[in-house]
Chains A and B, each alone.
Chain A
Amino acid sequence: MSLPIGVPRGEVAPSPDLAPRQPARRVPWRIILLVAVALVGGLLMVTPFVWAIATSIKPRGALLALPPQLIPSEPTIGPYLEVIRRFPFMRVFGNSVLVALTTTAGQLVICSMAGYAFARFQFRARNALFTLYIATLMVPFAVVITPLFIIVTRLGWGDTYAGLIIPGMFSAFGTFFMRQFFLSIPKELEEAATIDGAGTLGTFARIVLPIAGPALATLAVLSFMGSWNSFLWPLLIINDRDLMTLPLALSTLQGMYPGQTQWNIVMAGTVLATVPTILVFLFAQRWVIEGVAGSGVKG
């Protein structure tokens, strides 16, 4: 394609021999081609989901059909019933909701308050302390994980909700993120509130937090996604099936059947676990994409 770039369609200067042609009626080949390319890529992204759904409604025998059927000839809801029968699915789902919501709520409160302290308070060692926060962002989770496991189990939080939730509530990233936001808003509003006699806590709660809505929403989305999809930590800290979160429970599905993994049942579990995530994403899409694009964090 060697069309001049940036020239609005229909304004290409007609060469003399093409003069009778009407530029506005031309088939927009370029757009069609681009849509086709985007569509092929999009299908590549969607096919695994279609394959998961197709598998999840196949009877066991149809799994071994060659070539595999993308549309099952005898669809059945058997695998879903089997997952729910063999697995406390609602319980696991509830665990994930509980853990993600409380972790997020905790992060919002703790990070916004600490971020505000770093942005507005004057105290000794502030910069040194903030540098320490930033430095911890570089440390991979693998470094922390062994001692963290020992500390949390010594606290008696092995196999408890506390063990799942509390360590996740303190985020150096979240503190940093909120501090940057507070630094970006003008001080005048807060100063006006002080002149009117409001204390720091009152100013923070009534003046600052309401303006911080978008930043809090972004942090909430990232925190929720991170907690919802977290796998390694629950894997280590939870053995009790009644306390498992969705990713952990899913990972045990493939080991539940000695010998051959029953993929229709595994895929039914995967679909059940994934559909709510996707629905929430479609609903909150703008926040999610802006949050991820703006921070470079997957949650």
Chain B
Amino acid sequence: MYERGWQRYGILALFLGPSLVGLTIFTLLPIGASLGLSFTDWDLLTPAQFVGGRNYVQMLGDAEFWRTLRNTVTFLVGYVPLVLTAGLLIAVLLNSALPFRGVFRTMYFVPVVTSWVAVALVWKWLFNPAYGLINSALGSLGISGPAWLFDPNWAMAAVILTSVWKDTGFIMVIMLAGLQGIPREYYEAASIDGATRPQGLWHITIPLLAPTLIFCLSISLIGAFQVFDQVYVMTEGGPAGATMVLVERVVANAFSYSRMGYASAMSWVLFVLIFVVTIFFYRLRKWQA
């Protein structure tokens, strides 16, 4: 900045002002307000009442909250390993000298750019127990498919599969970028030493790709904690609460039951979980470097 005197402030205000005002009103203020609200009872109609930590205490004794937390973890435990494995395998496949690589990459990536609502609707129909493609395909193999989204034991599995299908291409392109940073010479040197292809994958690709793998692990974990769109469209938390997840319950508590305080408290629990994960991976990266 080369202006002098008061002009400096003018330029600074011009460049930074809009961003700062917007961020304050639409992000910083809501974050503070949300923390404040989490210590109140507020139904939007009557004035908010300060209740101290009651919402948090109530949460500890709320079976629905624990169920929600368990469902979120179930989603995460199913989704994260599957999407990372699928993304890695496809990235390795497309990183080799394969004809039509570009076409395949496009095929795998199209679900990433498609809106979640569209994807969720299509999969809801695919999973239709009676007339859907999936159960009829299973039927032709002699397997009687479950009722999927209508079965509390299978609904989460269906949501997980749908999510893996949509996000595999996302993980794939990040892993591909990482793979392209590994010099070919390493593999040549290893092959001269008599290493096989799987050995090369295990001893060269995985270690050298570690930073990328950790990055993908962290963003998929953080994303999984916040799963919402697909659940809302496919099941709305059902059947019988089998797919209730944190963000979905925050939205339901705030906007369906008008329990603003309780919803805010729940969102802060989510924040703490994500914060812990973020700090863990931040430390891991520092330790690695």
Contact = CB atoms under 8 A, between A and B. Distances in A.
Interface in A265-299: 266-267, 270, 273-274, 277-278, 281-282, 285, 288-289, 292-294, 296, 298-299
Contacts of B26: 144, 148, 151-152, 166-167, 170
B269 to A, nearest CB: 10
A273 B118 contact: yes
B29 A123 contact: no
B270 A143 contact: yes
A277 B112 CA distance: 11
Interface in A226-243: 228-229, 231-232, 235-236
A31 B101 CA distance: 12
B116 interface: yes
B284 interface: no
Contact of A67 (B136, B168, B184, B278): B136
B15 A247 contact: no
B59 interface: no
B30 A151 contact: yes
A41 interface: yes
A114 B118 contact: no
Nearest to A118: B16
A219 to B, nearest CB: 13
Contacts of B97: 31
A147 B33 contact: yes
A274 B118 contact: yes
B247 A142 contact: yes
B16 to A, nearest CB: 4
Given A31-B98, A143-B34, A114 B197 contact: no
Q: Size range of the interface on B?
A: 35 or more
A52 to B, nearest CB: 5
Contacts of A55: 125
A116 interface: yes
B173 A140 contact: no
Nearest to B109: A289
Interface in B98-133: 98-100, 103-119, 121-126, 128, 130-133
Given A146-B264, A293-B177, A229 B18 contact: no
B158 to A, nearest CB: 13
Contacts of A52: 122, 125
Contacts of B255: 149, 236
A231 B226 CA distance: 13
A45 B12 contact: no
B150 interface: no
A224 B62 CA distance: 40
B131 A278 contact: no
A143 B20 contact: no
B23 interface: yes
Contacts of B194: 4
A202 to B, nearest CB: 10
Contacts of B28: 132, 136
B108 A45 contact: yes
A4 to B, nearest CB: 4
Interface of B: 1-3, 11-12, 14-16, 18-20, 22-23, 25-31, 33-34, 37, 90, 93-94, 96-100, 103-119, 121-126, 128, 130-133, 136, 139-140, 165, 167-170, 173-174, 176-177, 184, 187-188, 190-191, 194-198, 200, 215-216, 219, 225-226, 228-229, 232-233, 246-247, 250-251, 254-255, 260, 263-264, 267-268, 270-271, 274-275, 278
Given A4-B191, A68-B132, 15 more contacts: A5-B188, A6-B191, A7-B191, A45-B165, A49-B110, A66-B136, A110-B22, A113-B19, A140-B270, A142-B251, A143-B264, A270-B121, A274-B114, A292-B112, A293-B176
8 tightest A-B contacts by CB? A170-B22, A114-B19, A147-B33, A147-B30, A247-B117, A6-B188, A117-B15, A42-B107
13 contacts: A7-B191, A114-B18, A141-B226, A142-B251, A142-B270, A147-B29, A151-B25, A170-B23, A200-B15, A229-B116, A248-B117, A277-B115, A289-B173
